[in-house]
Amino acid sequence: MRFEDFARLHGLIIKTGIVPNRWVATPTEGHPNGSAGRYKFLGDVGWVMDWTAMDKPVMWKSENWSYDKAAMLQTKQSDDADRRKAAAEAAKKANGILQKSTVGSHPYLTRKGFPSESGKIWDVDGSRKLVVPMRCANRLIGCQLINDQGEKKFLYGQQSKGAEFTIGTGGVPIFCEGYATGLSIRAAMKAVNVSYTIHVCFSASNVKFIASSNPRGIVVADFDLNGVGEKAAKDADKPYWLSDTIGEDFNDYHLRVGLFRASQSLKQLLFSNGNSPSS
């Protein structure tokens, strides 16, 4: 199997020719307007990863490839050093972006049902981008940038595993993927008068990682066509909410059925099977 076919099989969209000898960001089938895919091609061996659905890269090798332990170790050490450097640069850039950002409204928030919501806005190259800070253990490690059309991008090289944006500071932990989903969860929890801490995790694999490390809480999953969101919720071993319509997240559901029905649906999960938000 060619490397291009291997990458496509794992959900990566490579629009131009393969760039060798370094990690390259690409769109994925799940996020065609983003850059959640990564690949590195070294000729006879390579790695691919969709970090919204995978915990680690998977390796491809050509029929001519032969294992060289010393060379592989050197490649791994070089990759580790490159990742650490890129992560540090991404964290520094994120800090600079936040310092330059102002607070204001954004078309994305309006389209997602929150016209009065304000966020961090970064004006760059004639575009106003909504900035969602991403932190790991309270340390800024990067950010998600959302343009007027809703296209989402992350800073090159930023750390992803364990990164989150939290909404609220107490009550039941709730884990979800997207920022707009988090805002809809907040509205629903306020409607049923239940305190919360919402963990926006930015990807299904990260929902699984963060939710699994917390003994309490629920997952509000995306109902993906490929089942990735539901599988992450199941793997996290938490009670989980899922829309009755494939392709929807909780924000989509909220906009379709209204706040009352959305909040009651979430409340039903919170208090189901004798559970309560404090358990």
Residues 6+ apart with CB under 8 A from 200: 132, 164, 165, 166, 167, 176, 177, 178, 179, 181, 182
* pLDDT for residue 279 is more than 60: no
Residue 169 lies in a domain: yes
Q: What is the pTM of this model?
A: 0.80
Domain limit, last residue, from 67, 84, 102: 67
Residue 56 lies in a domain: yes
* pLDDT for residue 255 is more than 90: yes
Q: What is the CATH number of the domain that holds 205?
A: 3.40.1360
Total structural domains in the chain?
2
pLDDT at 71: 66
pLDDT, one tens digit per residue, over 145-179 is 999 999 888 988 888 889 999 999 889 999 999 99
Domain limit, last residue, from 49, 67, 85: 67
Residue 138 lies in a domain: no
Residue 254 lies in a domain: yes
CB 181 within 8 Å of CB 243: no
pLDDT at 240: 96
Average pLDDT of 210-239?
A: 93
Return the minimum-mean-pLDDT range out of 19-28, 72-81, 232-241. Answer: 72-81
* pLDDT for residue 26 is more than 60: yes
* pLDDT for residue 241 is more than 70: yes
Residue 113 lies in a domain: no
Residue 182 lies in a domain: yes
Residue 179 lies in a domain: yes
Domain limit, last residue, from 51, 67, 83: 67
Q: Tally DSSP H helices, then E strands, for the chain.
A: 8, 14
Pairing of strands 127-136, 24-26: unpaired
Domain range for 34: 3-67
